[in-house]
Amino acid sequence: MNAWPLLGVAVVVAGFALQRNPVLVVVIAGIVSGVASGMGIGDLLALLGTAFVNNRVLLLFVLTLPVIGLLERHGLRERAQHWIAGFRNLSLSRLLVSYLAMRQLLSMFGLYDIAGHAQTVRPLLAPMSEQAAARDAPIDTSTRMRVRALAAATDNIGRFFGEDVFLAFAGVLLIQRFYAGQGIALEPFAIARWALPTAIAAFVIHALRVAWAQRAIDRAQRKGAAGASDAAR
């Protein structure tokens, strides 16, 4: 057994440990594994090109990044904050729970790439969440970082637990193939049906987490306001 191709795994581990560019690390790991397995440079490059062409649809989201960057440069985040400030009754918990519901529903219908960290969280959801959290009083840097993390977690949970309900999702088909290999007949509909209660439970649990975070922020703001009032006296 030729174990030299496993050097690619070592390259991946070392590259991630050194915090290098993930794409560069994976490409170098593929080249190392290919050379170690005895492949020629021409065959290796042809294999990498074929894999890229066959999976190019997965890279379409990259085309949105320059557009998002251009919009941010021209004040998209500031406009989002200004717009959300007009809704005085929109709290942080209402905003994030509404986004969670939308993200899960879209993912359930297979539209899980219509939103994401680059497309919606950084340019829209994060600044809107910060503005909603600071509607009654300014927030400090620690609270701001916590709000951003909560916005990112909301997107993650909405997609992760929503996409398993979509019948044609790759993860559902992978589960089906795994059970088929073990001699167990399992239809994608059955997998998706049992993923629905999990998605509902995840929605409820994260909504409670968001509500708890909202209470903690409100409590800190009241405490800060009381301290400022006492200092003024």
Q: Residue 57: pLDDT above 60?
A: no
pTM of the predicted model, to two decimals? 0.69
Give the separation between CA 32 and CA 41, rounded to whole angstroms: 11
Please give the full DSSP string across 12-43, using - where no structure is assigned.
HHHHHHTT--HHHHHHHHHHHHHHHTT--HHH
Question: Which tokens hold the place of 126?
Answer: 């994060």
Q: Residue 21: pLDDT above 70?
A: yes
pLDDT digits (tens, 9 = 90+) for 141-186: 899 999 999 999 999 999 999 988 887 777 777 778 888 887 888 8
Give the separation between CA 232 and CA 226, rounded to whole angstroms: 10
The predicted pLDDT at position 150 comes to: 95
